[in-house]
Structures are given as C-alpha cells and as structure tokens.
Amino acid sequence: MRRFCVFVLVIACCAVNGVRAAEASVLFESLRRKVLSVHDYTAEVKMNINVTYMRIPQLGGTLYYKAPDKMRLERHGGLSILPKKNINLTLSNLIPGGNVTVIEVGEATIGNKKVRVLKVIPEDEKSDIILTKIWVDEKDLVALRTETTTRNDGTVTMDLEYATYTAYCLPDKVTIYMDLKDYKLPKGVTMDYNDQPAPPKTTDKKNQKGTIKITYLKYNINTGISDSFFSKPEKK
C-alpha cells in the first residue's frame, strides 16, 4: 500500500510539473507574439551612457527600428549613429526565436509587481542566444527584466518600465547593464569624447561596467519604414 501511495504521489507531481511547464510555454509564446507585433517604430529618445572611463553628456535623438534587427539613431545636432550589433537596444533582439524550451523557475517581485520568472533555451544550436531569463508581469503581459546570454557578446541585462505603450510591449524607460570587456560603444557615440583620458593599463577589464539608460518620449508605431532608410550614409 505504501509503495502504491508513493507511486501515485510521483505521478501527481509529474502531472503538476507538466501543467506548469505547459503554462510557462503558453505565457512565453503570448509575450513573444506581443513583442513581435511591432514591425517598426520611430521614437524620440534621450539617452544617458555611463561608463567607467569616459564622461558622455546626455544624447537626444530619433531612434528608428525595423524588425528583426535594423536600427538607426540620429542625434539631434550631431552625427547619425548606427549602433553596433552587439548593443541590443530592443527587447525583440533579446527574446529567442524559433523553437524553445521554457522552464518556470519561480516568482519574484519587481517594484510592487509580482512576476513569473522563466528560463528560455533555444533549440536551434546555431542561435546566437544561449539562454534568456525573463521576469514576466503576467497581468500586463510585459517583460520587466531580461537577462540574455549570447555566444559572442556576453550577457545583457535589461530593466524595462512601462506606461503609455504597454499594449505594444514598448517601454517608456530602459536601463541596459553591460560588461565593457564584451561591448564596444558605437564610434558615433564616442568620437566626440576621444580627448577623455584612457583607462589605466592596470585597469582590470573584468570590473569595467557600464549602463545605457534610454527614455522614450514618443513612439510612432508600425508606420512602414523602408529597408533603404537604414543604408543611408551618416550625416556629416
């Protein structure tokens, strides 16, 4: 009888875990569909770049995005910037595509919101993304935090705040955390500040941290931006 009870308990646990895994997959797919419903946007932004060895004033400009990975930032009164591939400024670049395995690892609280924490593993061995951890606000169906590990560019952690454009999963504020040993700022951002002192030769690159904080002031969504726009030469 005891063995039978243990057997039933194991079966019940497996059934519960199976249901939770299915629910986690449904939640992730719903979030991914919402994120990918935005095909392009134009946004007025303010950007603060904080690195350990350089002082960069606040940048203002217009950010253009087209799925899946085209992006252009035109600074107000300055050069156009085509951000490097390895600086991911959009949530869609940090969520794996194709077939994935989704594992729910628990719950957490961000601010005053309870979130479900998911680990998402791409099944495509050629995917640049190895693992993404997502803190999902199930009520509003938005990601409040992501932590994505890639094969070539290290780990990107992103905190997102929403208000006006929650229905599109587009944040009003984003903070991106990065290790400078893994990332190279776009030349258009740094070239005006090349007279800043270089980091000492003894600086431990492992301890060089940086953040990019972006405030989105206004979006124009799904207006249809042509591919040719992103191949225009930079302004002089």
CA distances from 38 to 21, 57, 61, 71 (A): 27, 30, 20, 14
Within a domain: residue 37?
A: yes
Strands 100-110, 70-75: pairing kind: unpaired
pLDDT in tens, 25-52: 999 999 999 999 999 999 999 988 887 7
In a domain, 61, yes or no: yes
Q: Answer whether residue 155 is part of any domain.
A: yes
The range of the structural domain enclosing residue 194 comes to 2-223
Residue 236 in domain: no
Tally of domains in the chain: 1
**Dihedral (CA of 169, 175, 177, 183) sign:** positive
The predicted structure's pLDDT at residue 188: 46
Weakest-pLDDT range from 85-94, 111-120, 123-132, 188-197: 188-197
Query: What CA–CA distance (Å, rounded) separates 89 from 186?
Result: 12
Full 3-state SS string of 83-144 = CCCCCCCCHHHHCCCCCEEEEEEEEEEECCEEEEEEEEEECCCCCCEEEEEEEEECCCCEEE
Whether residue 228 is contained in a domain is answered as no
215 falls within a domain: yes
- The answer to whether position 234 is within a domain reads no
User: Which CATH number goes with the domain that contains 104?
Assistant: 2.50.20
Q: How does pLDDT run across 72-120, given as a tens digit for each residue?
A: 888 876 555 544 544 556 888 888 888 999 999 999 999 999 999 999 9
Residue 173: count other Cβ atoms within 10 Å of its Cβ. Answer: 14
Report how far residue 64's alpha carbon sits from residue 195's, in angstroms, rounded to the nearest whole number: 29
Do 129 and 122 contact (CB within 8 A), yes or no?
Answer: yes
Residue 168 lies in a domain: yes
| Cβ atoms of residues 169 and 31 within 8 Å | yes
Q: List the beta bridge partners of residue 103.
A: 119
